[in-house]
A = this chain, B = another copy of it.
Amino acid sequence: MTEQSTITVSVVEDNDALREGWGVLLKGSPGFTCIGAYSSAEEALEKIPSNIPDVILMDINLPGISGVDCVKKLKKNLPAISIIMITVHEDSEQVFEALKAGANGYLVKRTPPAKILEAIDDVLKGGSPMSSQIARLVVQSFQNPPAINDETAALTTREQEILALLAKGFRYKEIGESLFISTETVRGHLRHIYEKLSVRSRTEAVLKYLGK
């Protein structure tokens, strides 16, 4: 069980002052302790498997193996471990790379100590703590890519509604039942949808809808 009265944390950070600072913070905070402090990804990958913490605070900018790659490797062998990335950069590229690699949270370095402890608690409760500036980058990535479809934008509200259900795998009959309209009407709408999207089957329509 990882559930204990004291939360164990390890730190991976090449800056000596920061690494030691966090160690002191964690050891000085009731309910937390630091069981490992590593100055490189290589060192962390070697020593963490035999000294597994509840949470890892990981700098994203490490010399040699990057923090992102370190996360990938750690998560591969220890998928249950929680990792919070800490960075000076609010570069969207790096954020997404880290999240895809399996990081559970993402904080900027100037996050105050109290917020860091809160984030550690949070991540163990299943949350994904992140600075709101980071969250913004993530949110933007939702608004840009999915807005690809100029074609689906030409659809009426009702047509989009029906396409959304179609994209969940529902049959015409089921779509009709969901929307309280007849199967024939669903067919009618789908006819228009297919025309507007220039497709010939439901699979093609769904692929366009999903931006694939």
A residues lining the B interface (CB < 8 Å): 69, 96, 99-100, 102-105, 122-123, 126-133, 135-136, 138-139, 142-143, 146-147, 157, 166-169, 171, 199, 201-204, 206-207, 210, 212
Contacts and interface: CB of A to CB of B under 8 A. Distances in A.
Given A142-B96, A169-B204, A206-B203, A127 B132 contact: yes
Contacts of A147: 100
A157 to B, nearest CB: 8
A166 B203 CA distance: 8
Given A143-B99, A143-B100, A169 B207 contact: yes
A136 B127 contact: yes
A157 B122 CA distance: 32
21 contacts: A99-B139, A99-B142, A102-B143, A104-B139, A126-B133, A126-B136, A128-B135, A129-B132, A130-B135, A130-B139, A135-B135, A138-B138, A138-B139, A138-B142, A166-B203, A169-B201, A169-B203, A202-B203, A203-B206, A210-B210, A210-B212
